[in-house]
Amino acid sequence: MKEKSIIKFENFSFRYDSSNEFILKDISLEINKNELVILAGPTGCGKSTLLRSIIGLIPHMHSGEYKGRVIVDQLVVNDVKITDLAKKAGFVFQNPENQIFMFSIERDIAFGLENLATNKTVMRERVDSILSLLEIEHLATKAPHELSDGEKQRAALAGILAMQPKILILDEPTSLLDPKTAINFINIVNDLRKKIGMTVVIVEHRLDLVLEIADKLIILSNGKIIENDSPKQVIHHSKQLIPEIGIPVISRLYRNLAKSNYNFDNAIVTVKEMVKEIRGKRTQ
């Protein structure tokens, strides 16, 4: 039978050695292939721990009490080496400066491949195709410090994509970028996902940038999953959206109107949708 899901948490709990409390509590979750999933929740709710558990930093780098199983593309995280997981899931940090460090961008992109002892010709081809995919050929021979923040974030993404991961994990990738650069970055990721088929798990505080394109919105609170549905469904049905997770202004406006029997055909996550709804009402 062909598996639909690519990431699976089975009754997973984790407690760091340094803490008395479990940071994730009995998580059961399936993320489907090629979906774009937003992970949201207040500071300290366990988002980063969940991401670390997918790429194997937990339990391989952070020790603690580990219960249940995490399965990533048919590998049981606890049973395999972290390097095996690195080929499955790539991780882009909030600050690209933590990630790009070689003398030139193309060397940086090649770095991961060199570590896997990839053949030189294959490596060259792979680097070139990534450069062209992200439209950063002009940056190939530049040093990281010569790049703007938006370019650095794309270069960091390029280094990860060179490993051809099936899963891309992004931890607040746009928090240092200006609004338009942030949208461009998110669009690049989304286009790539469709073009090469990739599952994307993203922690993003600026939900206005991602709600429209995401398949799922997962909300974590106190180490538990309290919502896991399409963004529109969550915006529509969630009884009380926890205030910490920056629901976009337009969706908050929708919830306020819907509460007072203003009839909508659909939940609203963009200004465009709201304009359409209101114009429809006006012409009735």
Partner 1 sequence: MIEFKDVNYIHSNGIPALKEINLSIKPKTINALVGSNGTGKTTLARHINGLLKPTSGNVLVFGKNTKKISVASLSKRIGMVFQNSNHQLFADTVKNEILFGLNNFETDSQIIKTRFEWALNFFDLKKYENTSPLKLSGGEKKRLCIASVLAWNPEVLILDEPTVGQDQVQKGKMLEFISNLNKQGKTIIIISHDLEFLWSLKPNVIVMTKGKIRKTGKIADIFSDDELLNQTCLMRPQLLDLWMKLNIKREPPADITKAADIIRRISGS
Binding site for partner 1 (CB under 8 A): 42-44, 148-150, 172, 175-183, 205, 208, 243-250, 252-253, 256-257, 260-263, 271, 274-275, 278-279, 281-282
Decide whether 140 or 176 has the Cβ nearer to partner 1.
176
Minimum distance between the CB of residue 268 and partner 1, rounded to whole angstroms? 10
Minimum distance between the CB of residue 29 and partner 1, rounded to whole angstroms? 22
Minimum distance between the CB of residue 88 and partner 1, rounded to whole angstroms? 27
Tell me the C-alpha distance between 241 and 40, whole Å. 11
Decide whether 47 or 126 has the Cβ nearer to partner 1.
47
Packing angle between helix 120-133 and helix 105-115, nearest 10 degrees?
130
| Strands 64-72 vs 167-171: parallel, antiparallel or unpaired | unpaired
Decide whether 175 or 266 has the Cβ nearer to partner 1.
175
Q: Token pair of 22, please?
A: 């479990």
Decide whether 195 or 282 has the Cβ nearer to partner 1.
282
Tell me the C-alpha distance between 218 and 230, whole Å. 9
3-state secondary structure 189-233: HHHHHHHHHCEEEEECCCHHHHCCCCCEEEEEECCEEEEEECHHH
Tell me the C-alpha distance between 53 and 71, whole Å. 10
Q: Which helix (H) or strand (E) holds 10?
A: strand 5-16
Decide whether 189 or 207 has the Cβ nearer to partner 1.
207
Minimum distance between the CB of residue 86 and partner 1, rounded to whole angstroms? 25
Complete edge-to-edge strand list for the sheet that includes strand 5-16: 24-32, 5-16, 64-72, 75-76
Rounded to the nearest angstrom, the gap between the alpha carbon of residue 185 and the centroid of all alpha carbons in its chain is 12
Minimum distance between the CB of residue 273 and partner 1, rounded to whole angstroms? 10
Number of CB atoms found within 10 A of residue 92's CB: 22
Minimum distance between the CB of residue 214 and partner 1, rounded to whole angstroms? 17
Tell me the C-alpha distance between 277 and 284, whole Å. 11
Decide whether 141 or 256 has the Cβ nearer to partner 1.
256
Minimum distance between the CB of residue 216 and partner 1, rounded to whole angstroms? 20
Decide whether 28 or 256 has the Cβ nearer to partner 1.
256
Instruction: Check: CB of residue 151 under 8 Å from CB of residue 134.
Output: no
Minimum distance between the CB of residue 177 and partner 1, rounded to whole angstroms? 7
Decide whether 65 or 178 has the Cβ nearer to partner 1.
178
